[in-house]
Amino acid sequence: MRIPIIAGNWKMYKTVDEAVALVRELKEKLADVNNREIVVCPPFTALHTVYKELSGTNIKLGAQNCYFEDEGAFTGEVSPLMLKNIGVEYVVIGHSERRGYFNENDDLINKKAKALLLKGLKPIICVGESLEQREAGETETLVRKQVFRDLDGIEPYQLKNIVIAYEPIWAIGTGKTATSTEANRVIALIRNTVKEMYSPLEANSIRIQYGGSVKPDNAHEILTQSDIDGALVGGASLKADSFTAIVKF
């Protein structure tokens, strides 16, 4: 039985005060939810303060990125060790914005995933195709390649601590959403790729989210598909009412 996981990626929004105000609303509105996992991913500046606000609640803390070294002369980077120290449990890596704007590739994402797992943190690994790749019929080839590369060298027992998020790039922040059946088809492809790499047991156990303009009005249709185990939510996670509606789909 895969427990749905709904994660809110706040991206570069919310000052510390705004972050505190939002999580205080969420704590109240989501206090009665016990059949799914809830994660919020504020910007780095708000992580420690939000952690203290979330202590003792059913909402878990995630970060939006990390580097793969514990420490060193890496100006501007944040390590898994630092994130672990302030109460982070999940870390989003490989988001299309990181791949697209900052030229992150699968080799780097694989290093990050391994570093996070070594520190007891849980990677949310994002994969997905651009509009051009989709129109060229490359979705299946590209997504499979990303999964193979991002999970390369990761042991079967570690998969229980990994979440994969299928995020078609053309649906990020555009208002466009893959149809529920199309999203489910690609996520089933991802699950089958995990099966090829590992076994049916691991494939049936790993949680795979959908991300890409998930909103209250489409959440139920998307999140009740057979292979979709939750959502990585962008813009709709910035308001308590809309994120609550998605969590309670």
Range of the domain at 200: 5-247
Residue with tokens 């949680």: 207
Residue % of the chain over a pLDDT of 90: 89
pLDDT in tens, 153-195: 999 999 999 999 999 887 766 667 778 999 999 999 999 999 9
Domain count for the chain: 1
Catalytic residues: 95, 167
CA proximity to 179, closest of 195, 168, 194: 168
Q: Say if residues 216 and 187 touch (Cβ distance below 8 Å).
A: no
pLDDT in tens, 47-102: 999 999 999 999 999 999 999 999 999 999 999 999 999 999 999 999 999 998 99
Quote the pLDDT of residue 173. 67
Phi, psi of 100, deg, nearest 5: -80, -50
C-alpha 94, offset from chain centre: 9
Kindly calculate the radius of gyration of the chain based on its CA atoms and give it in whole angstroms: 17
What is the pLDDT of the chain when averaged over all its residues? 95
Quote the pLDDT of residue 238. 98
Q: Say if residues 74 and 67 touch (Cβ distance below 8 Å).
A: yes
Residue 76: partners with Cβ closer than 8 Å, 6 or more residues away: none
Greater confidence (44 vs 178) lies with 44
CATH code, domain with 55: 3.20.20.70
